[in-house]
Chains A and B, each alone.
Chain A
Amino acid sequence: MALLEVKNIYKSFGGVKAIQDFSLEADAGQILGIIGPNGAGKTTIFNVISGVYPADQGTVILNGQDITKMEQYRITRLGMGRTFQNIRLFKGLTVQENVMCAFDPKSQYKILGGLLPTPRRRSEEKRGREQCMKYLEVVGMADYADERPENLSYGMQRRVEIARALMCEPKVLLLDEPAAGLNPTEVSELTELIQRISKEIGFGILLIEHRLELVMSISHLIHVQNFGKTIAVGTPAQVQHDPQVIEAYLGKEE
Protein backbone atom coordinates (compact mmCIF):
# COMPACT_ATOMS: atom_id res chain seq x y z
CA MET A 1 0.00 0.00 0.00
CA ALA A 2 1.29 3.39 -0.95
CA LEU A 3 1.92 6.17 1.57
CA LEU A 4 -0.53 8.51 -0.11
CA GLU A 5 -3.35 7.14 -2.21
CA VAL A 6 -5.64 9.47 -4.08
CA LYS A 7 -8.45 7.49 -5.68
CA ASN A 8 -10.71 8.85 -8.37
CA ILE A 9 -11.38 12.28 -6.92
CA TYR A 10 -13.79 14.77 -8.48
CA LYS A 11 -14.30 18.41 -7.59
CA SER A 12 -16.53 21.01 -9.22
CA PHE A 13 -17.11 24.67 -8.47
CA GLY A 14 -20.53 25.50 -9.83
CA GLY A 15 -20.34 24.41 -13.44
CA VAL A 16 -16.56 24.26 -13.58
CA LYS A 17 -15.20 20.77 -13.30
CA ALA A 18 -11.88 21.53 -11.66
CA ILE A 19 -10.86 17.91 -11.13
CA GLN A 20 -12.26 14.89 -12.91
CA ASP A 21 -11.29 11.39 -11.92
CA PHE A 22 -7.82 12.13 -10.60
CA SER A 23 -5.81 9.31 -9.04
CA LEU A 24 -2.29 9.17 -7.73
CA GLU A 25 -0.07 7.07 -5.52
CA ALA A 26 3.01 8.37 -3.80
CA ASP A 27 5.61 6.49 -1.79
CA ALA A 28 8.32 7.59 0.56
CA GLY A 29 11.41 8.85 -1.25
CA GLN A 30 9.48 9.56 -4.42
CA ILE A 31 9.07 12.89 -6.14
CA LEU A 32 5.91 13.18 -8.22
CA GLY A 33 5.45 16.09 -10.57
CA ILE A 34 2.08 17.53 -11.51
CA ILE A 35 2.21 19.80 -14.53
CA GLY A 36 -0.28 21.40 -16.86
CA PRO A 37 -1.34 24.76 -18.23
CA ASN A 38 -2.96 27.42 -16.03
CA GLY A 39 -6.44 26.45 -14.89
CA ALA A 40 -5.75 22.73 -15.25
CA GLY A 41 -6.82 22.16 -11.62
CA LYS A 42 -3.40 21.51 -10.12
CA THR A 43 -3.77 23.63 -6.99
CA THR A 44 -7.30 22.28 -6.54
CA ILE A 45 -5.78 18.81 -6.31
CA PHE A 46 -3.51 20.03 -3.50
CA ASN A 47 -6.41 21.73 -1.75
CA VAL A 48 -8.47 18.55 -1.82
CA ILE A 49 -5.57 16.41 -0.60
CA SER A 50 -4.74 18.78 2.27
CA GLY A 51 -8.39 19.19 3.24
CA VAL A 52 -8.99 22.84 2.34
CA TYR A 53 -12.21 21.58 0.79
CA PRO A 54 -13.53 18.02 0.53
CA ALA A 55 -13.71 16.11 -2.73
CA ASP A 56 -17.16 15.71 -4.30
CA GLN A 57 -16.30 12.07 -4.92
CA GLY A 58 -13.38 9.79 -4.35
CA THR A 59 -11.08 9.13 -1.41
CA VAL A 60 -7.74 10.31 -0.12
CA ILE A 61 -5.80 7.91 2.09
CA LEU A 62 -2.69 8.93 4.00
CA ASN A 63 -0.63 6.19 5.60
CA GLY A 64 -3.63 3.86 5.65
CA GLN A 65 -6.05 6.41 7.12
CA ASP A 66 -8.97 7.86 5.21
CA ILE A 67 -8.51 11.65 5.37
CA THR A 68 -11.05 12.61 2.70
CA LYS A 69 -13.37 14.48 5.04
CA MET A 70 -10.96 15.20 7.87
CA GLU A 71 -10.33 18.73 9.17
CA GLN A 72 -7.22 20.39 7.80
CA TYR A 73 -5.32 20.64 11.05
CA ARG A 74 -5.83 16.94 11.76
CA ILE A 75 -4.56 16.00 8.31
CA THR A 76 -1.48 18.13 8.95
CA ARG A 77 -0.89 16.45 12.29
CA LEU A 78 -1.17 13.01 10.63
CA GLY A 79 1.74 13.94 8.41
CA MET A 80 1.02 16.40 5.61
CA GLY A 81 3.04 19.52 4.97
CA ARG A 82 2.58 22.07 2.23
CA THR A 83 3.78 25.31 0.78
CA PHE A 84 1.78 27.76 -1.28
CA GLN A 85 1.86 29.21 -4.76
CA ASN A 86 1.64 32.71 -3.33
CA ILE A 87 3.83 32.61 -0.24
CA ARG A 88 1.72 32.48 2.89
CA LEU A 89 4.04 33.15 5.81
CA PHE A 90 2.68 34.85 8.93
CA LYS A 91 3.81 38.43 8.72
CA GLY A 92 4.31 40.03 12.10
CA LEU A 93 5.87 36.82 13.38
CA THR A 94 9.61 36.26 13.11
CA VAL A 95 11.01 33.51 10.91
CA GLN A 96 11.58 31.36 13.97
CA GLU A 97 8.05 31.97 15.27
CA ASN A 98 6.64 31.09 11.87
CA VAL A 99 8.39 27.74 11.95
CA MET A 100 7.59 27.17 15.65
CA CYS A 101 3.88 27.51 14.93
CA ALA A 102 4.04 24.21 13.13
CA PHE A 103 5.84 22.61 16.08
CA ASP A 104 3.36 23.69 18.73
CA PRO A 105 0.60 21.21 17.92
CA LYS A 106 3.13 18.42 18.40
CA SER A 107 4.71 19.64 21.61
CA GLN A 108 4.19 17.63 24.75
CA TYR A 109 2.32 20.27 26.71
CA LYS A 110 -1.24 21.46 26.42
CA ILE A 111 -2.03 24.89 25.09
CA LEU A 112 -3.44 26.07 28.43
CA GLY A 113 -0.73 24.34 30.43
CA GLY A 114 1.62 26.42 28.31
CA LEU A 115 0.46 29.57 30.03
CA LEU A 116 2.51 28.69 33.08
CA PRO A 117 6.30 28.61 32.94
CA THR A 118 6.69 24.98 34.01
CA PRO A 119 9.89 22.93 33.56
CA ARG A 120 8.09 20.81 30.97
CA ARG A 121 7.23 23.88 28.94
CA ARG A 122 10.81 25.05 29.13
CA SER A 123 12.18 21.73 27.92
CA GLU A 124 9.59 21.45 25.15
CA GLU A 125 10.23 25.01 23.97
CA LYS A 126 13.91 24.17 23.88
CA ARG A 127 13.24 21.00 21.88
CA GLY A 128 11.07 23.05 19.52
CA ARG A 129 13.71 25.72 19.03
CA GLU A 130 16.35 23.09 18.35
CA GLN A 131 14.19 21.41 15.74
CA CYS A 132 13.31 24.77 14.30
CA MET A 133 16.97 25.70 13.93
CA LYS A 134 17.70 22.27 12.46
CA TYR A 135 15.16 22.78 9.68
CA LEU A 136 16.20 26.39 9.12
CA GLU A 137 19.72 25.01 8.76
CA VAL A 138 18.49 22.45 6.21
CA VAL A 139 17.02 25.20 4.03
CA GLY A 140 19.97 27.51 4.70
CA MET A 141 18.05 30.17 6.59
CA ALA A 142 19.41 29.70 10.12
CA ASP A 143 21.05 33.13 10.08
CA TYR A 144 17.70 34.83 9.59
CA ALA A 145 15.80 33.24 12.51
CA ASP A 146 14.93 36.57 14.13
CA GLU A 147 14.18 38.41 10.92
CA ARG A 148 10.63 39.26 9.83
CA PRO A 149 9.66 37.35 6.68
CA GLU A 150 8.47 40.51 4.92
CA ASN A 151 12.06 41.79 5.01
CA LEU A 152 13.41 38.77 3.13
CA SER A 153 13.74 38.21 -0.58
CA TYR A 154 11.22 36.09 -2.39
CA GLY A 155 13.60 33.14 -2.65
CA MET A 156 14.38 33.28 1.05
CA GLN A 157 10.69 33.42 1.94
CA ARG A 158 10.19 30.26 -0.11
CA ARG A 159 12.90 28.54 1.90
CA VAL A 160 11.31 29.60 5.19
CA GLU A 161 8.00 28.24 3.98
CA ILE A 162 9.66 24.92 3.21
CA ALA A 163 11.23 24.89 6.70
CA ARG A 164 7.81 25.52 8.21
CA ALA A 165 6.36 22.65 6.19
CA LEU A 166 9.23 20.39 7.32
CA MET A 167 8.44 21.30 10.92
CA CYS A 168 5.05 19.62 10.44
CA GLU A 169 7.14 16.43 10.13
CA PRO A 170 5.24 15.42 7.04
CA LYS A 171 5.10 11.98 5.52
CA VAL A 172 3.97 13.69 2.35
CA LEU A 173 5.10 17.17 1.35
CA LEU A 174 3.11 19.22 -1.16
CA LEU A 175 5.09 21.93 -2.95
CA ASP A 176 2.92 24.30 -4.96
CA GLU A 177 5.04 26.06 -7.60
CA PRO A 178 8.07 26.49 -5.35
CA ALA A 179 10.10 28.04 -8.18
CA ALA A 180 7.59 30.72 -9.11
CA GLY A 181 9.26 34.12 -9.14
CA LEU A 182 12.78 32.79 -8.60
CA ASN A 183 15.78 33.64 -10.74
CA PRO A 184 17.79 30.87 -12.48
CA THR A 185 20.40 30.64 -9.69
CA GLU A 186 17.67 30.37 -7.07
CA VAL A 187 15.91 27.71 -9.15
CA SER A 188 18.98 25.53 -9.28
CA GLU A 189 19.55 25.98 -5.54
CA LEU A 190 15.93 25.00 -4.96
CA THR A 191 16.26 21.94 -7.19
CA GLU A 192 19.25 20.84 -5.15
CA LEU A 193 17.36 21.51 -1.90
CA ILE A 194 14.31 19.46 -2.92
CA GLN A 195 16.47 16.52 -3.97
CA ARG A 196 18.48 16.74 -0.76
CA ILE A 197 15.48 16.75 1.61
CA SER A 198 13.83 14.01 -0.42
CA LYS A 199 16.89 11.81 0.13
CA GLU A 200 17.66 12.81 3.73
CA ILE A 201 14.16 12.88 5.17
CA GLY A 202 12.65 10.36 2.81
CA PHE A 203 9.07 11.50 2.52
CA GLY A 204 6.88 11.55 -0.55
CA ILE A 205 6.93 14.83 -2.44
CA LEU A 206 4.23 16.11 -4.75
CA LEU A 207 5.44 18.98 -6.85
CA ILE A 208 3.35 21.37 -8.91
CA GLU A 209 5.59 23.42 -11.15
CA HIS A 210 5.56 25.45 -14.33
CA ARG A 211 9.33 25.47 -14.73
CA LEU A 212 9.64 22.33 -16.77
CA GLU A 213 13.42 22.11 -16.41
CA LEU A 214 12.91 21.74 -12.65
CA VAL A 215 10.12 19.13 -12.80
CA MET A 216 11.72 17.13 -15.57
CA SER A 217 15.07 16.94 -13.83
CA ILE A 218 13.93 15.67 -10.42
CA SER A 219 10.54 13.90 -10.78
CA HIS A 220 10.30 10.15 -10.82
CA LEU A 221 6.85 10.26 -12.31
CA ILE A 222 4.83 13.07 -13.86
CA HIS A 223 1.08 13.59 -14.08
CA VAL A 224 0.01 15.97 -16.82
CA GLN A 225 -3.30 17.76 -16.25
CA ASN A 226 -5.40 19.69 -18.71
CA PHE A 227 -8.87 21.15 -18.07
CA GLY A 228 -9.29 19.03 -14.94
CA LYS A 229 -8.38 15.77 -16.61
CA THR A 230 -5.22 13.68 -16.49
CA ILE A 231 -3.95 13.45 -20.05
CA ALA A 232 -0.72 11.57 -19.40
CA VAL A 233 1.19 9.80 -16.65
CA GLY A 234 4.75 8.65 -17.04
CA THR A 235 8.43 9.26 -16.55
CA PRO A 236 9.75 12.66 -17.66
CA ALA A 237 11.04 11.13 -20.88
CA GLN A 238 7.69 9.50 -21.63
CA VAL A 239 5.51 12.56 -21.09
CA GLN A 240 7.86 14.81 -23.01
CA HIS A 241 7.16 12.78 -26.13
CA ASP A 242 3.46 12.25 -25.56
CA PRO A 243 1.54 13.87 -28.44
CA GLN A 244 -1.35 14.93 -26.17
CA VAL A 245 1.05 16.69 -23.84
CA ILE A 246 2.77 18.46 -26.67
CA GLU A 247 -0.62 19.55 -27.95
CA ALA A 248 -1.70 20.88 -24.54
CA TYR A 249 1.48 22.89 -24.22
CA LEU A 250 2.11 24.02 -27.77
CA GLY A 251 -1.30 23.80 -29.39
CA LYS A 252 -2.36 21.47 -32.17
CA GLU A 253 -0.34 21.36 -35.33
CA GLU A 254 -2.47 21.96 -38.38
Chain B
Amino acid sequence: MFLGEATKQMSLQIVINGLATGSVYALIATGFALIFNILKFSNFSHGATMTAAAFTAYFLVAAKGGGLAATLLAAALAGALIALFGEFFGFRRITLKHSSPTYFFVSSITLGTLYEGLVTIRVGSNFYNFPSFFKNPTIRISGLVISTGDAMMCIISLVALILLAYVIQKTRLGRALRAVSFDRDTAQLMGINSTRIIQLTFVISGLLAGAAGTFLGIKYTLYPTLGSLVVKGFIASVIGGLGSLVGAVIGAVLLGLIETLLLSLLGSGYSTIATFGIMLVFLLVRPQGIAGSNIQEKA
Protein backbone atom coordinates (compact mmCIF):
# COMPACT_ATOMS: atom_id res chain seq x y z
CA MET B 1 0.00 0.00 0.00
CA PHE B 2 1.20 3.46 -0.77
CA LEU B 3 1.63 5.71 2.21
CA GLY B 4 1.90 9.41 1.55
CA GLU B 5 4.68 11.34 3.25
CA ALA B 6 2.13 13.17 5.38
CA THR B 7 0.47 9.93 6.48
CA LYS B 8 3.82 8.48 7.45
CA GLN B 9 4.56 11.54 9.56
CA MET B 10 1.14 11.22 11.15
CA SER B 11 1.60 7.60 12.09
CA LEU B 12 5.06 8.24 13.54
CA GLN B 13 3.55 11.02 15.57
CA ILE B 14 0.89 8.67 16.89
CA VAL B 15 3.48 6.10 17.82
CA ILE B 16 5.50 8.65 19.76
CA ASN B 17 2.45 10.02 21.57
CA GLY B 18 1.35 6.48 22.31
CA LEU B 19 4.74 5.61 23.73
CA ALA B 20 4.66 8.66 26.00
CA THR B 21 1.21 7.78 27.31
CA GLY B 22 2.22 4.14 27.61
CA SER B 23 5.33 4.99 29.59
CA VAL B 24 3.27 6.78 32.25
CA TYR B 25 0.86 3.86 32.36
CA ALA B 26 3.89 1.63 32.81
CA LEU B 27 4.94 3.55 35.92
CA ILE B 28 1.44 3.14 37.34
CA ALA B 29 1.18 -0.52 36.36
CA THR B 30 4.54 -1.56 37.84
CA GLY B 31 3.88 0.29 41.12
CA PHE B 32 0.58 -1.48 41.31
CA ALA B 33 1.99 -4.89 40.31
CA LEU B 34 4.75 -4.71 42.95
CA ILE B 35 2.19 -4.53 45.74
CA PHE B 36 0.01 -7.14 44.08
CA ASN B 37 3.02 -9.43 43.94
CA ILE B 38 4.04 -9.13 47.53
CA LEU B 39 0.68 -8.96 49.31
CA LYS B 40 -1.61 -10.50 46.65
CA PHE B 41 -4.18 -7.75 46.59
CA SER B 42 -5.09 -4.87 44.27
CA ASN B 43 -4.02 -1.68 45.98
CA PHE B 44 -6.86 0.69 45.23
CA SER B 45 -5.20 3.48 47.20
CA HIS B 46 -2.49 3.66 44.54
CA GLY B 47 -4.42 6.23 42.47
CA ALA B 48 -5.07 8.58 45.38
CA THR B 49 -1.42 8.21 46.40
CA MET B 50 -0.46 9.48 42.94
CA THR B 51 -2.77 12.48 43.23
CA ALA B 52 -1.76 13.38 46.77
CA ALA B 53 1.94 13.08 45.92
CA ALA B 54 1.58 15.20 42.78
CA PHE B 55 -0.33 17.90 44.66
CA THR B 56 2.23 17.92 47.47
CA ALA B 57 4.98 18.48 44.91
CA TYR B 58 2.89 21.13 43.20
CA PHE B 59 2.41 23.22 46.33
CA LEU B 60 5.81 22.66 47.90
CA VAL B 61 7.98 22.92 44.81
CA ALA B 62 6.39 23.70 41.45
CA ALA B 63 4.23 26.61 42.63
CA LYS B 64 7.32 28.15 44.23
CA GLY B 65 9.24 28.11 40.99
CA GLY B 66 10.95 24.73 41.27
CA GLY B 67 11.95 22.95 38.08
CA LEU B 68 10.85 19.60 36.69
CA ALA B 69 13.60 17.61 38.40
CA ALA B 70 12.89 19.11 41.82
CA THR B 71 9.14 18.64 41.36
CA LEU B 72 9.52 15.01 40.33
CA LEU B 73 11.84 14.31 43.22
CA ALA B 74 9.45 15.92 45.70
CA ALA B 75 6.50 13.97 44.26
CA ALA B 76 8.40 10.69 44.41
CA LEU B 77 9.43 11.30 48.02
CA ALA B 78 5.89 12.35 48.96
CA GLY B 79 4.56 9.21 47.27
CA ALA B 80 7.00 7.06 49.24
CA LEU B 81 5.99 8.69 52.55
CA ILE B 82 2.28 8.29 51.80
CA ALA B 83 2.83 4.64 50.85
CA LEU B 84 4.76 4.06 54.09
CA PHE B 85 1.90 5.63 56.04
CA GLY B 86 -0.57 3.39 54.23
CA GLU B 87 1.50 0.27 54.80
CA PHE B 88 1.72 0.93 58.52
CA PHE B 89 -1.83 2.07 59.26
CA GLY B 90 -3.72 0.23 56.57
CA PHE B 91 -1.97 -3.07 55.98
CA ARG B 92 0.61 -3.97 58.65
CA ARG B 93 -1.71 -5.62 61.13
CA ILE B 94 -3.81 -7.50 58.61
CA THR B 95 -0.61 -8.68 56.94
CA LEU B 96 0.77 -10.08 60.18
CA LYS B 97 -2.55 -11.78 60.89
CA HIS B 98 -2.68 -13.32 57.40
CA SER B 99 -6.13 -11.83 56.90
CA SER B 100 -8.14 -12.59 53.78
CA PRO B 101 -7.73 -10.36 50.69
CA THR B 102 -11.13 -8.78 51.38
CA TYR B 103 -9.66 -6.90 54.33
CA PHE B 104 -6.84 -5.56 52.16
CA PHE B 105 -9.35 -4.54 49.54
CA VAL B 106 -11.49 -2.63 52.06
CA SER B 107 -8.44 -1.13 53.73
CA SER B 108 -6.99 0.12 50.45
CA ILE B 109 -10.29 1.66 49.33
CA THR B 110 -10.62 3.37 52.69
CA LEU B 111 -7.10 4.77 52.49
CA GLY B 112 -7.72 5.95 48.92
CA THR B 113 -10.92 7.73 49.90
CA LEU B 114 -9.12 9.31 52.84
CA TYR B 115 -6.28 10.67 50.67
CA GLU B 116 -8.71 11.95 48.07
CA GLY B 117 -10.78 13.64 50.78
CA LEU B 118 -7.71 15.32 52.26
CA VAL B 119 -6.68 16.61 48.84
CA THR B 120 -10.18 17.91 48.14
CA ILE B 121 -10.24 19.82 51.44
CA ARG B 122 -7.05 21.58 50.44
CA VAL B 123 -7.77 22.33 46.78
CA GLY B 124 -11.56 22.20 46.40
CA SER B 125 -12.64 20.87 43.06
CA ASN B 126 -10.40 23.22 41.13
CA PHE B 127 -8.04 22.30 38.37
CA TYR B 128 -4.40 23.19 38.72
CA ASN B 129 -1.81 23.48 36.02
CA PHE B 130 1.82 22.72 36.51
CA PRO B 131 3.87 25.68 35.28
CA SER B 132 5.39 24.96 31.89
CA PHE B 133 8.74 23.46 32.77
CA PHE B 134 10.24 23.74 29.31
CA LYS B 135 11.46 26.76 27.38
CA ASN B 136 10.36 25.15 24.14
CA PRO B 137 7.10 23.24 24.53
CA THR B 138 7.85 21.25 21.37
CA ILE B 139 10.90 19.76 19.73
CA ARG B 140 11.17 19.39 15.96
CA ILE B 141 13.10 16.46 14.65
CA SER B 142 13.10 16.20 10.85
CA GLY B 143 9.54 17.37 10.42
CA LEU B 144 8.20 15.57 13.47
CA VAL B 145 6.73 17.73 16.18
CA ILE B 146 7.13 16.16 19.60
CA SER B 147 5.93 17.71 22.81
CA THR B 148 8.94 18.22 25.09
CA GLY B 149 6.82 16.99 27.98
CA ASP B 150 6.09 13.72 26.18
CA ALA B 151 9.74 13.23 25.32
CA MET B 152 10.84 13.82 28.92
CA MET B 153 8.10 11.49 30.13
CA CYS B 154 9.38 8.71 27.88
CA ILE B 155 13.00 9.16 28.87
CA ILE B 156 12.47 9.54 32.61
CA SER B 157 10.00 6.63 32.76
CA LEU B 158 12.43 4.47 30.84
CA VAL B 159 15.24 5.34 33.26
CA ALA B 160 12.95 4.62 36.22
CA LEU B 161 11.95 1.24 34.79
CA ILE B 162 15.56 0.27 34.07
CA LEU B 163 16.50 1.19 37.64
CA LEU B 164 13.59 -0.88 38.90
CA ALA B 165 14.65 -3.88 36.83
CA TYR B 166 18.20 -3.50 38.15
CA VAL B 167 17.06 -3.38 41.78
CA ILE B 168 14.80 -6.40 41.37
CA GLN B 169 17.14 -8.60 39.37
CA LYS B 170 20.56 -7.63 40.66
CA THR B 171 20.41 -6.55 44.28
CA ARG B 172 19.98 -8.17 47.64
CA LEU B 173 16.76 -6.18 48.14
CA GLY B 174 15.38 -7.50 44.86
CA ARG B 175 16.24 -11.09 45.73
CA ALA B 176 14.52 -10.73 49.10
CA LEU B 177 11.57 -9.00 47.45
CA ARG B 178 11.12 -11.90 45.04
CA ALA B 179 11.47 -14.45 47.83
CA VAL B 180 8.93 -12.68 50.04
CA SER B 181 6.59 -12.29 47.07
CA PHE B 182 6.69 -16.01 46.50
CA ASP B 183 6.37 -17.13 50.12
CA ARG B 184 6.47 -14.65 52.96
CA ASP B 185 6.55 -17.21 55.75
CA THR B 186 9.35 -19.31 54.35
CA ALA B 187 11.38 -16.16 53.64
CA GLN B 188 10.96 -15.22 57.28
CA LEU B 189 12.27 -18.65 58.32
CA MET B 190 15.34 -18.11 56.13
CA GLY B 191 16.24 -15.03 58.15
CA ILE B 192 14.59 -12.42 55.93
CA ASN B 193 12.70 -9.69 57.78
CA SER B 194 9.55 -9.87 55.66
CA THR B 195 7.95 -6.82 57.29
CA ARG B 196 10.94 -4.69 56.35
CA ILE B 197 10.89 -5.98 52.77
CA ILE B 198 7.16 -5.26 52.45
CA GLN B 199 7.80 -1.76 53.80
CA LEU B 200 10.54 -1.16 51.22
CA THR B 201 8.29 -2.49 48.45
CA PHE B 202 5.70 0.10 49.41
CA VAL B 203 8.42 2.76 49.27
CA ILE B 204 9.34 1.75 45.71
CA SER B 205 5.69 1.63 44.71
CA GLY B 206 5.18 5.08 46.25
CA LEU B 207 8.19 6.53 44.40
CA LEU B 208 6.71 5.29 41.12
CA ALA B 209 3.26 6.60 42.06
CA GLY B 210 4.66 10.07 42.76
CA ALA B 211 6.44 10.23 39.42
CA ALA B 212 3.38 8.91 37.56
CA GLY B 213 1.09 11.42 39.30
CA THR B 214 3.33 14.31 38.31
CA PHE B 215 3.47 13.18 34.68
CA LEU B 216 -0.33 12.82 34.54
CA GLY B 217 -0.61 16.30 36.05
CA ILE B 218 1.70 17.69 33.38
CA LYS B 219 -0.01 15.86 30.55
CA TYR B 220 -3.56 16.69 31.62
CA THR B 221 -4.15 18.91 34.66
CA LEU B 222 -4.07 18.39 38.41
CA TYR B 223 -7.42 17.73 40.05
CA PRO B 224 -8.46 15.73 43.13
CA THR B 225 -9.81 12.73 41.22
CA LEU B 226 -6.82 12.53 38.88
CA GLY B 227 -6.03 9.22 40.57
CA SER B 228 -8.94 7.55 38.79
CA LEU B 229 -6.59 7.29 35.80
CA VAL B 230 -4.97 4.52 37.84
CA VAL B 231 -7.54 2.27 36.18
CA LYS B 232 -5.34 2.41 33.08
CA GLY B 233 -2.48 1.06 35.16
CA PHE B 234 -4.67 -1.74 36.53
CA ILE B 235 -5.80 -2.69 33.04
CA ALA B 236 -2.24 -2.61 31.76
CA SER B 237 -1.03 -4.92 34.50
CA VAL B 238 -3.90 -7.31 33.88
CA ILE B 239 -3.29 -7.38 30.12
CA GLY B 240 0.36 -7.96 30.86
CA GLY B 241 -0.38 -10.81 33.24
CA LEU B 242 -1.04 -9.88 36.86
CA GLY B 243 2.08 -9.91 38.95
CA SER B 244 4.53 -9.90 36.06
CA LEU B 245 6.46 -6.64 35.98
CA VAL B 246 7.67 -7.15 32.41
CA GLY B 247 4.11 -7.96 31.41
CA ALA B 248 2.88 -4.80 33.10
CA VAL B 249 5.28 -2.67 31.05
CA ILE B 250 4.36 -4.40 27.79
CA GLY B 251 0.66 -4.11 28.60
CA ALA B 252 1.04 -0.41 29.45
CA VAL B 253 2.87 0.47 26.23
CA LEU B 254 0.33 -1.50 24.21
CA LEU B 255 -2.54 0.25 25.94
CA GLY B 256 -0.96 3.65 25.35
CA LEU B 257 -0.45 2.91 21.65
CA ILE B 258 -3.96 1.56 21.08
CA GLU B 259 -5.50 4.46 22.92
CA THR B 260 -3.61 7.09 20.96
CA LEU B 261 -4.33 5.37 17.67
CA LEU B 262 -8.05 5.10 18.37
CA LEU B 263 -8.09 8.67 19.59
CA SER B 264 -6.79 9.89 16.24
CA LEU B 265 -9.18 7.64 14.29
CA LEU B 266 -12.39 7.94 16.28
CA GLY B 267 -12.10 11.09 18.37
CA SER B 268 -12.22 11.20 22.14
CA GLY B 269 -15.78 9.98 22.60
CA TYR B 270 -15.68 6.60 20.92
CA SER B 271 -12.00 5.91 21.49
CA THR B 272 -12.50 5.21 25.20
CA ILE B 273 -15.33 2.82 24.49
CA ALA B 274 -13.34 1.10 21.74
CA THR B 275 -10.22 0.82 23.96
CA PHE B 276 -12.12 -0.83 26.77
CA GLY B 277 -13.93 -3.04 24.27
CA ILE B 278 -10.63 -4.29 22.88
CA MET B 279 -9.36 -4.94 26.39
CA LEU B 280 -12.45 -6.96 27.27
CA VAL B 281 -12.08 -9.08 24.16
CA PHE B 282 -8.40 -9.54 24.92
CA LEU B 283 -9.13 -10.78 28.43
CA LEU B 284 -11.77 -13.12 27.04
CA VAL B 285 -9.25 -14.65 24.64
CA ARG B 286 -6.25 -14.63 26.95
CA PRO B 287 -7.35 -14.19 30.56
CA GLN B 288 -3.89 -14.92 31.95
CA GLY B 289 -2.46 -11.90 30.14
CA ILE B 290 0.54 -11.61 27.87
CA ALA B 291 3.24 -12.83 30.24
CA GLY B 292 1.00 -14.98 32.39
CA SER B 293 1.33 -18.70 32.05
CA ASN B 294 -1.34 -21.30 32.37
CA ILE B 295 0.96 -24.21 32.95
CA GLN B 296 -0.63 -26.52 35.41
CA GLU B 297 1.53 -27.29 38.37
CA LYS B 298 2.26 -30.83 39.32
CA ALA B 299 0.34 -31.54 42.46
Determine which of A104, A107, A109 lies in contact with B192 in the assembled complex, contact meaning CB atoms within 8 Å.
A104
> What interface size band does chain A fall in?
20 to 34
Q: Closest Cβ of chain A: how far from B78's Cβ, in Å?
A: 19
Q: Closest Cβ of chain B: how far from A123's Cβ, in Å?
A: 13
Is B196 an interface residue, CB under 8 A from the partner? Answer: yes
Is B278 an interface residue, CB under 8 A from the partner? Answer: no
Beta-carbon contacts under 8 Å, A131-188 to B: 150, 164, 168
Interface residues as binary, A82-95 with B (CB distance below 8 Å gives 1, 0 otherwise): 10100010111100
Which residues of chain B come closer than 8 Å to A100, judged between CB atoms?
A: 175
Determine which of B167, B171, B185, B192 lies in contact with A101 in the assembled complex, contact meaning CB atoms within 8 Å.
B192
Give the nearest-CB partner of B167 in chain A: A115
Is B190 an interface residue, CB under 8 A from the partner? Answer: yes
Residues B188 and A115 in contact, CB atoms below 8 Å apart: no
Determine which of B171, B175, B193, B200 lies in contact with A93 in the assembled complex, contact meaning CB atoms within 8 Å.
B175
Residues B182 and A73 in contact, CB atoms below 8 Å apart: no
Q: Closest Cβ of chain B: how far from A182's Cβ, in Å?
A: 16
Residues B175 and A101 in contact, CB atoms below 8 Å apart: yes
Q: Closest Cβ of chain A: how far from B200's Cβ, in Å?
A: 7
Most buried by A among B172, B193, B196: B172
Q: Closest Cβ of chain B: how far from A27's Cβ, in Å?
A: 23
Interface positions of A (Cβ within 8 A of B): 50, 52, 71-73, 76-77, 82, 84, 88, 90-93, 97-98, 100-102, 104-107, 109, 111-112, 114-115, 121, 150, 164, 168
List 16 other contacts, CB 8 Å, given A115-B171, A121-B172.
Answer: A72-B188, A73-B192, A76-B189, A90-B186, A92-B182, A93-B178, A97-B178, A101-B175, A101-B179, A101-B190, A102-B190, A102-B191, A104-B192, A111-B173, A111-B176, A115-B167
